[in-house]
Amino acid sequence: MENMLIAEELTYDKERWMTEHEMLVTQLTNEHKNVYEFVMNDIDSNGCELYFVYGYRGIGKTFVWRTLSSKIRSRGDIVLNVASSGISLLLPGGKVTHSRFAIPLSLNEDSTCNTSQGNNLAELIIRSKLIIWDEAPKTMRDLSRFAIPGSAEKIFCGKTVVLGGDFRRILPVILKEMRPIVVGATINSSYLGQIVRY
């Protein structure tokens, strides 16, 4: 049976995306181009790095996401564009994060994503070349560890992931804790912060 999630992601017109990419890439600023080239080089070399594009609203992060997405889709590959809110609609084929990754809306310490090895969503994530998670301040590892050898040892199971946003606007919520504890819980302070390319 055909995986409709994958089929939906592969129905894009590659020629249209190639034309759009050719137009967008010429408009990248030097800073945008650096981000674009780091990410594309990583994808092409199967580097599977984690990137965080830090910046205020209006600096052109969405433009970089559009350029990356058009390049990936022009090749006939899958890019998953997600965001924490309705801003996801600004991203090509964008979805709200909880919807795309089956993240429950009501969370507690035992919450997990509502997907498992071998289902359609897991297969979509495995097939994707790039995940762009905008407004981002283990599920993929669990999904890919049996399908991709060595993925369990890699961050985000061997997928290139680009996170974007402004951590000053999106701090973690830790009830009844002081500022140092909250700041210490951010991605910058975690082990991921040591390997992220900013």
pLDDT digits (tens, 9 = 90+) for 36-88: 999 999 999 987 777 777 777 778 888 999 999 999 999 999 999 988 776 65
Whether the pLDDT of residue 140 is over 60: the answer is no
- Over range 156-176, report the average pLDDT: 63
User: What pLDDT score does 187 carry?
Assistant: 59
Whether the pLDDT of residue 180 is over 70: the answer is yes
Q: How confident is the model at residue 161 (pLDDT cuts 50, 70, 90)?
A: confident
Of residues 39 and 187, more confidence is placed in: 39
User: What pLDDT score does 40 carry?
Assistant: 95
Residue 182 exposed, middle or buried by CB count within 10 Å (0-12, 13-18, 19+): middle
**Model-level pTM greater than 0.75?**
no
Residues 134-161 as b or e (16 or more Cβ within 10 Å = b): bbbbebbbbbbbeebeebeebbbbbbbb
- Say which range, 66-75, 95-104, 156-165, has the weakest mean pLDDT: 156-165
User: What pLDDT score does 157 carry?
Assistant: 58
Please state, in angstroms and rounded to a whole number, the distance separating the CA atoms of residues 30 and 78.
Answer: 26
Q: How confident is the model at residue 30 (pLDDT cuts 50, 70, 90)?
A: very high
User: What pLDDT score does 138 carry?
Assistant: 47
User: What pLDDT score does 137 carry?
Assistant: 46
CB-based contact 158:50 (threshold 8 Å): no
User: What pLDDT score does 92 carry?
Assistant: 75
Q: How confident is the model at residue 20 (pLDDT cuts 50, 70, 90)?
A: very high
Q: Which domains does the chain have, with CATH numbers?
A: 4-101+113-194 (3.40.50)
Whether the pLDDT of residue 132 is over 80: the answer is yes
Beta carbons within 8 Å of 23's beta carbon, 6+ residues apart? none
Ramachandran sector of residue 156 (left: φ over 0; alpha: ψ -120 to 50; beta: rest) = left
Q: How confident is the model at residue 159 (pLDDT cuts 50, 70, 90)?
A: low
